[in-house]
Structure 1
Amino acid sequence: MIPLKDDNTTLSTPILSYTIIGICIVVFLIQISSPGFDNGNLFYSYGVVPASLLGTESLPNDLNKIDPYLTLITSMFMHGGFMHLIGNMLYMWIFADNIEDDLGKIKFILFYLASGIAAAMTQVYLNVNSTIPMVGASGAISGVLGAYLVRYPRNRVLVLIPFGFFSQMVRIPAMFVLGFWFILQFISSSGSSSQGGVAYGAHIGGFVFGAAVMFFFGNFLIPQKAFFKALSEKDDKKKNPWIQD
């Protein structure tokens, strides 16, 4: 199930969401032109290495470029490959604009960074002795997905569902798209290796953090304009049964 777009409009241009996407693309282009990309040194220098972050092991001097705690930020803008980048940016493009629209610019970027840190620390907690570097925006984006699920569970998302050599595009509620994604992270994490691969723990941690923040503090964080937007969307219930209250 591959999401393509949602039916949720925004009241303002999601400048920060687009900026984050742009930064991730630029950073990736810098990565692949760096001599440290092929041998992984770049990831050790600017990615999150759990054992280094917790101080149980130290990186060699030639890899120890910045304070380990700063890698909680730098790692969010790095990616391990082209498909890793494309997949993350697709989800960012579809779901982040509405959360930015709701929270406003400053609170959105703080929420995004906090989600990424919470995601990374979840992965660190689950692999305290690991010396495998962790990079990617997926932890922070998972926080956005969690917030979207709480905020817009009934909004429809256009998804591509492959059936062997054929595929079908359908619109289904976000609660099913994101719920399926979250369950898939749990299933995949049970068979994941501690020797590297996808950081499913970060995905789960980021998602839970984002959902919890929106559930418990959403009314406080969201400006009044977003509530007027939500009220206007209720007028569409006669045309769209998926967003019935």
Structure 2
Amino acid sequence: MDDLITSQFLHAGFLHIAGNMLFLWIFGNNVEDKLGHVKYLLFYLTCGVLAGLSQWYFAPYSEIPSLGASGAIAGVMGAYILRFPQAQVLTLIPLGIFITTIRVPAVFFLGFWFLQQAIYGFASLNVQTNVGMEGGGVAYWAHAGGFVFGFILGPLLGLFNDKNR
């Protein structure tokens, strides 16, 4: 159980932690504002633990260690899509050598992200064997599981109650 908590604070490199912190910065503060600091911390850590258990359930023979806050942050994203369905996300769009930005509905952005994680998760089931062969070393099931558990737990913890603060 200790590994399920401490692994949330370890990352495989700079880009891993930078990507996680970007998503936490975009989505986390709004969810924290609605839940309050203490509930948010419990929510975040619980989503991280449940995300780790999701990865273990779907990839029990994996020899790749699960590291990072991605599952917990995916839980925050699952709560965000429920609480802020009308929000817009400023998104970078590469166009060859140029980059532009557009505002995308959060429900589309996060829905697409979740669908991508689920598809890659199912695809990874085909490349796993009982000796732990995985493609890419990404914990797609932790991402998808964290998102689903955040979607479920957010309302149970009072995500829609504005008197939490």
> Normalising by the residue count of structure 1, what TM-score does the alignment of the two structures yield?
0.60
Q: Which amino acid aligns with 1:180?
A: F
Highest relative contact order (Cα 8 Å, sep 6+), 1 or 2?
2
Match of 2:5 in 1: 73
Match of 2:93 in 1: 161
Q: What is the CA distance between 1:173 and its match in structure 2? A: 1.3
Q: What is the CA distance between 1:175 and its match in structure 2? A: 0.4
Map 1:153-192; keep pairs closer than 5 Å: 153-192=85-124
Match of 1:5 in 2: none
Unaligned residue ranges in structure 1 (runs of 5+)? 1-68, 227-245
Q: Does the 8 Å CA contact 1:104/1:223 hold for their aligned counterparts?
A: no
Map 1:92-241; keep pairs closer than 5 Å: 92-192=24-124, 193-194=127-128, 195-196=133-134, 197-215=137-155, 217=156, 219=158, 222-224=161-163
Map 1:21-36; keep pairs closer than 5 Å: none
Q: What is the CA distance between 1:171 and its match in structure 2? A: 1.1
Distance 1:151 1:124, change over 3 A: same
Root-mean-square deviation (CA, aligned residues, Å) is 1.8
Q: What is the CA distance between 1:97 and its match in structure 2? A: 0.4
Q: Which amino acid aligns with 1:149?
A: I
Distance across 2 between alignment mates of 1:95 and 1:220: 14
Q: Which amino acid aligns with 1:117?
A: V
- Among the aligned pairs, what percent are the same residue? 49
Partner SS, residue 67 of structure 2:
coil
Distance across 2 between alignment mates of 1:180 and 1:161: 15
Partner SS, residue 12 of structure 2:
coil
Partner SS, residue 132 of structure 1:
coil
Q: How many residues align?
A: 157
Distance across 2 between alignment mates of 1:209 and 1:162: 32
Q: Which amino acid aligns with 1:222?
A: N
Q: Does the 8 Å CA contact 2:121/2:140 hold for their aligned counterparts?
A: yes
Distance 1:220 1:159, change over 3 A: closer
Distance 1:219 1:110, change over 3 A: closer
Q: Which amino acid aligns with 1:73?
A: I
Distance 1:186 1:225, change over 3 A: closer
Unaligned residue ranges in structure 2 (runs of 5+)? none
Distance across 2 between alignment mates of 1:103 and 1:214: 8
Q: Cα deviation per residue 1:110-133 (whole Å; 9 max; x = unaligned)?
A: 000000001000001112233321
Q: Which amino acid aligns with 1:139?
A: G
Distance across 2 between alignment mates of 1:131 and 1:176: 34
Distance across 2 between alignment mates of 1:121 and 1:108: 20
Partner SS, residue 191 of structure 1:
helix
Q: From the CA coordinates, give the structure whose radius of gyration is larger.
A: 1
Distance across 2 between alignment mates of 1:101 and 1:177: 21
> Normalising by the residue count of structure 2, what TM-score does the alignment of the two structures yield?
0.87
Q: What is the CA distance between 1:221 and its match in structure 2? A: 6.9
Distance 1:207 1:213, change over 3 A: same
